[in-house]
Amino acid sequence: MKIPRIYHDEHGKSHFGEADIPLTDGGPIGLLSEKIPAGSIIFRETPADYNFKWHPAPARQLLFILKGRAEFTVSSGERHVFGAGDVLLLEDTEGEGHCSRAMYNEVRHSIFVTLPDGFPY
């Protein structure tokens, strides 16, 4: 399973990429990843006028968007919009970081799951 990610390079610039989560046959219930240890779970409501300029992620974390949409911008100016049902791996914990802003005047509900050191993807 491929999921989008934002990461930083050795110069502190952020980029979009993909993380590949290996899946194996779980029998009749489908394909499964290995168990992934997690840290904290944070629930968040972001206002419809949210516009957060350059900032690094506070920790390596998975962002699950439950409701609403947000646009993320990386150092090159490349932008992607993510919405309900999307998962994003945030690992630009150093350097310039990214920008994020609400789209379409929508409140966003999301969950952050922090990842321990050694997360393999």
Domain positions in the chain are 1-22+30-112
| pLDDT at position 121 | 67
Which residue, among 25, 26, 30, 8, has the nearest Cα to 17 in the 3D structure?
8
Which pair of structure tokens corresponds to residue 77? 């100016």
What does each of the 121 residues of the chain score in pLDDT, given as a tens digit?
999 999 999 999 999 999 999 999 999 999 999 988 899 999 999 999 999 999 999 999 999 999 999 999 999 999 999 999 999 999 999 999 999 999 999 999 999 999 987 776 6
Output the pLDDT for position 45: 98
Contact (Cβ atoms closer than 8 angstroms) between residue 29 and residue 80: no
- Domain 1-22+30-112 grouped into CATH 2.170.190.11: no
